Structure 1
Amino acid sequence: MTKGYDFIIIGGGSAGSVLAGRLSEDPAARVLLLEAGGSDRHPFYHLPAGFAKMTKGIGSWGWDTVPQTHMQNKVFRYTQAKVIGGGSAINAQVYTRGNAQDYEDWRQIGCTGWGYDDVLPYFRKAEDNETHENRYHGKGGPLGVSEPRAPLPICEAYFEAAAALGIPRNMDINGETQDGVCYYQLTQRNVRRSSAAMAYVSPNRHRPNLTVRLGAQVRRLLIEKGRATGVELVDGTRLTASREVLLSSGAIGSPRLLQLSGIGPADHLQALGMKVVHDQPEIGSNLQDHLDLYCIVELSGPYSYDRYARPQWAAVAGLQYLFGRKGPVASSLFETGGFWYADPSARSPDIQLHLGLGTGIEHGVASMPQGGITLNSCYLRPRSRGTVRLQSDDPAKAPLIDPNYLADPMDREMTIRGLKLTQEILSQGPLKKFILAERLPGPDVKTDRDYFDFICAHSKTSHHCAGTCRMGADPAAVVDPRLRFNGIDGLRIVDNSIMPTVISSNTNAAAIMIGEKAADMIKFDNGMG
């Protein structure tokens, strides 16, 4: 049986949720949102500190990378969301947009309409910012953006330690300049997560023209005579789209589904015995991600949130949140950080910092039995490029994810410099009364070879994957600057996979911006009000 809609959105993540909310504003447009994951009703999705449970299983597909050739064959857990809201439902809620020059770089390579002045109105349109309303920020949008409610005294000491190295305090890293250390603003409203689904889908579920289907995994796109006409689900159900099919499954999911549909590099698809519907060599190429490193120190007292992992303190934390909206449950645990330089001559900050108010917060990261803090760093403009490929034509099989971390020697050098910067900050005087000793990397790590060996044992993804369905003005690009697929009509890709280069920060806010901008383009191109 086939059922028809005007628009079918594949993927209810950050960008897909925005599309569902915005396109269904037109009551004449029949909009279907398909999400392979489940609902976000579990409390962990709503409590700020629920993030700590996310990289350890809940709401995730449980995928890993292939062994990393340039990192001693290390295999990384590669968390990909399996829930409505996508990454915005399971992330640390850090609200950063990248650097203005990131978007200028896109514009300069031919992505007309994607310069900083072009995208800024869409960041502002999305925001309901509790603090700022100016050129850079807006109020009244669907997405809650707010200040941290649960910082600790050690956060202020971190700012003082950075100042001792000449790193300034920045009160708005999404404003005029990105340089400096800061409290990040968070995608929260009333000390609860504000995911894209909570902001754009939940308030609009009552609309008769919006259908949301959870647990709906797409088997393949339907292509007829060079046009995308709908989708086939894994159970064989066929759904048709009279206007457009909008693929919003993320930098891993979108190239995966295209390849499952026979759209991608012909040699790869043929090697798997698949019929080639459309040869597009760049699908699944150009994968970029930020490699995250961490320096862990043990504290000399109960200065972090680690003690609340114990049952008796966990009960106290629950009461603090219930009655005062404060304490560790009110914290995303990574709401302090900033941007600085590994290369002093870089055009803008090339290192991002996240101060974790505890240890062992994410999968694979060591914990300190007596309590500690974690200072993460990632190099923001990697040169290494990886791939997303299929194991087989079976949609139940995980994709082959290869970020190809540290393939470029420059990435390796800058990554090590970033780790040394975290050590330097944590060794400054203002933090001495809090810190007992550095445990990782520790005093035995001295040479660059030692640092490299340490990174191969102690690192993780920053969850900032992008680039696998590149936007561009050239014929080889997967989509054009209006996000229309090159070579197949009626198909657009709307998510972080379209980024030509990954932005210099967390990527969730940019995914929401991409959704907002795409919604306007789709409305215009389809003659909608």
Structure 2
Amino acid sequence: MAEYDYVICGGGTAGCVIASRLKQGDPNLSVALIERGPDERKHPMVLNPMAVAQLKDVGLDSVYPTVKQEHLNDRTLELHAGNILSGSSAVNYGLWMRGQSKDYDHWAELSGDQRWSYEGLLPFFKKSEAHWDPNGDRTQHGFDGPIKTSSGRAFPLRKAVHDGLAEIGLKDNPDPNGGNPLGISAWTENWSPTRQPAGSAFDLKGVDVITDTTIQKIEFDTTQGEPRATSVRLVDGRILSAKKEVILSCGAHRTPQVLMLSGIGPTDELSKLGVTTLVYSPDVGENLFDHLGSTLVFKLDAEKAEEGLAVGNAKFMEVPHHLQGLTAEWMSIDTLPKDEVKAALQADAGDTQVPDDHALLADRAHHWIATMYMPLSLGQGYDVQIDGQHISLSVLNFQPTARGKVTLRSTNPKDDPIVDPRYNSTHHDRYVLRAGTRKALRYAESEALKPYLVGDVPPVGKKPLTSKSTDEEIDARVRESTMTIHHPGGTAAMGKVVDSRLKVKGVKGLRICDASVFPMPISATTQASVYALAESFADLLLRGQ
């Protein structure tokens, strides 16, 4: 039996940060980092921004199919997560977003701990980043962190896209990562110039990294009162013991699976598969949320397209910086009318009155509209090629109220868990995507974009949408075309499964640090938040808290 101070289960984004910071902070600590996937941090497809869609074909990107989604025409969606040392930081699109300060302040309310407020997390956001602008606001940004950010890659339609967004009322925002992302801002990315996997950006020297290894379960000493996590059993029979603590960082889908296989979870679910309940924890696997996005595809004017406006055109492809990250222009984030949001929330609440101080009514960042220079993440019935003739507008719901769950498929840890996000199942979520889609259609019809766009390209046999389309027509398109962009969280939430120090309730010696502990969604892609979460958590451990 190998013995360590800390055994970290999951070598993803958070796990690599925790392992690195623990070893840097106290070189005398012995740390094991266990990763289910291989160590392919320098794989050419990992380092290539344009290879994201092919990573699943070489086994570096896990796919978790959902159950059929009732509110998306019974479609089964593919959910992606990194199957590699560094986790999703090695396979994502590289956007660097913090979201809105109100998101984290709500975390603090739900957890009862100001450490998770925006101001509480700010030192750790700063610690992880090397901000792209040397003249940036030093009260908001770090300049010496391991993650180097970049911003401002320009594309041929840059001015038209900006002016179109301004026509529908959005204002310029020079720093969307300063706590207020609302408005029009340049995309911030962490390509430098290739992808920066967490296990490369954070020094793992001295950490015992164990890859291509699946965790069977966590084992506990139950002889002295409250169970204490003592070791991790691997499927090959090896046991790694932890003198201090076991840390679970397997992500929003796998972390609840490991908990349940170890006997921590809802008894009714465990008993179905003959798993003995060690600790009754009914919220394990519950509270699953994810960002859902609907994509509109637009045909470019044929003559204009020949100028090299989109992926697939030779002129576009020969410009090096066009291919150094996601081919997207201007981040546009907006709020929605408070009375309409409240009406949607009220429709979900039934007889329970929605209070005026509801968290989603406080000028929140409700959605984005992103302009992509290629047809991206298409849904049901589309026949569109990456041919330099099309662009797409993505509408993303940042604050979904739908909550799904993750449950066990079997007692085999190599089997995928069952994932049911219950996408689009609330009036609120349907309203946000409907209102955001209508706004995107108005943007596409702006004077600035009229010379470039012919019109919406619908699924085969369906009617094109315009800003005058009915709610029913837009809702139908959402059900057909909506796709996730893979930001799951909440399945081991603060205040429910773990306390504010991320200790698993009901046991000792076991903590969780990954997106599963997010108590609610954030208005951003999640990697910057996971880095800050892991930095803060490592600080907790090093302080003996």
Aligned to 1:14: 13
Distance 1:362 1:219, change over 3 A: farther
Equivalent residue letter for 2:384: S
Q: Take 1:217 and 1:509, find their aligned partners in 2: how far apart are those partners?
A: 26
Map of 1:356 onto structure 2: 372
The equivalent of 2:483 in structure 1 is 460
Q: Which of 497, 508, 526 is the matching residue for 1:478?
A: 497
Using the alignment, how far apart are the partners of 1:197 and 1:343 within structure 2? Answer: 42
Q: How many angstroms apart in 2 are the aligned matches of 1:409 and 1:338?
A: 24
Amino acid at match of 1:36: R
Superposed, which structure 2 residues align to 1:441-456 within 5 Å?
Answer: 443-445=463-465, 446-456=469-479
Amino acid at match of 1:14: T
| d(CA) in 2 for partners of 1:299, 1:374 | 10
TM-score (normalised: structure 1): 0.90
- CA-CA distance at 1:152 after TM superposition: 0.7
RMSD (Å) for aligned C-alpha atoms: 2.1
CA distance 1:193–1:449, shift in 2 (3 Å) = same
Cα 1:334–1:363, aligned 2, differ >3 Å: closer, same or farther? farther
Partner of 2:432: 414
Which residue in 1 is equivalent to 2:145?
A: 141
1:179-225 per-residue CA deviation (whole Å, 9 max, x = no partner) reads 11222111122x1112322211xxx34x33x1111111111111122
Which segment drifts farther, 296-305 or 270-279? 296-305
**Matches of 1:290 and 1:55 in 2, distance apart?**
20
8 Å CA contact retained: 2:99, 2:180: no
Q: Which amino acid aligns with 2:375?
A: T
Maintained 8 Å contact 2:291/2:485: yes
Cα deviation for residue 443 of structure 1 reads 4.9
- Is the CA contact (8 Å cut-off) linking 1:17 and 1:196 kept in structure 2? yes
> Offset of 1:359 from its aligned partner?
1.5
* Aligned-partner residue type, residue 194 of structure 2: R
Alignment partners' CA distance in 1, 2:216 and 2:447: 57
TM-score, normalization by structure 2: 0.88
CA distance in 2, matches of 1:153, 1:218: 48
1:211 is matched by which residue type in structure 2?
D
Aligned to 2:49: 48
Structure 1 residues 485 and 175 mapped into 2: Cα distance closer, same or farther (>3 Å)? same
Instruction: Name the structure 2 match of 1:495.
Output: 514
Distance (Å, rounded) in 2 between the aligned partners of 1:401 and 1:128 = 36
Does residue 281 in structure 1 map to residue 297 in structure 2? no
Q: What's the offset of the Cα at 1:363?
A: 8.4
Match of 1:508 in 2: 527
AA aligned opposite 2:369:
L
2: CA distance between counterparts of 1:252 and 1:343?
34
CA distance in 2, matches of 1:33, 1:493: 14
Is there any run of 5+ residues in structure 1 with no aligned partner, and where?
321-325
- Cα distance per residue 1:445-473 (max 9 Å; x no partner): 4332222222222111121111110102x
Q: Quote the Cα distance in structure 2 between the aligned partners of 1:361 and 1:270.
A: 38
Matched letter for residue 147 of structure 2:
L
Between stretches 35-44 and 120-129, larger displacement belongs to: 35-44
Q: How does 1:380-391 map to 2 (within 5 A)?
A: 380-391=398-409
Quick one: distance in 1 between partners of 2:328 and 2:55? 14
Pairing partner for 1:306 from 295, 305, 311:
311
| Amino acid in the other structure paired with 1:464 | H
Q: Hey, what does 1:367 align to over in structure 2?
A: 384
How far the C-alpha of 1:351 sits from its partner, in A, is: 0.7
Alignment CA distance shift 1:103-1:185 (3 Å): same
Total equivalences in the alignment: 503
How far, CA to CA, are the matches of 1:253 and 1:82 in structure 2? 11
The 3 A distance-change label for structure 1 pair 507 and 154 is same
Checking the alignment, whether the CA contact within 8 Å between 2:265 and 2:279 is kept in structure 1 is yes
Closer/same/farther in 2, CA of residues 174 and 370 from structure 1, 3 Å limit: closer
Q: Structure 1 residue 305: deviation in Å?
A: 3.4
Distance 2:196 2:528 in 1: 12
1:465 maps to a residue whose letter is: P
CA distance in structure 1 between the aligned counterparts of 2:294 and 2:212, rounded to whole angstroms: 34
Q: Is the 8 A contact 1:167 1:340 kept in 2?
A: yes
Cα distance in 1 for partners of 2:366, 2:323 equals 31
1:324-382 deviation digits (Å, cap 9, x = unpaired): xx243213224632211233564222012222121146787763445211111111111
Which of 213, 221, 227 aligns to 1:216? It is 213
SS in 1 for 2:393: strand
Three-state SS of the structure 2 residue aligned to 1:70 is helix
**AA of the residue aligned to 1:17:** C
Q: How does 1:170-181 map to 2 (within 5 A)?
A: 170-181=173-184
Distance 2:58 2:374 in 1: 19
Structure 1 residues 299 and 344: alpha-carbon distance in aligned structure 2, compared to 1, 3 A threshold: farther
Using the alignment, how far apart are the partners of 2:284 and 2:194 within structure 1?
A: 37
Aligned equivalents of 1:289 and 1:522: distance in 2?
Answer: 29
What letter matches 2:373 in structure 1?
Answer: L
Q: SS of the residue aligned with 2:472?
A: helix
Does structure 2 retain, via aligned residues, the 8 Å contact 1:143–1:195?
no
Q: 1:195 is matched with which residue?
A: 197
CA contact (8 A) 2:171 2:183 kept: yes
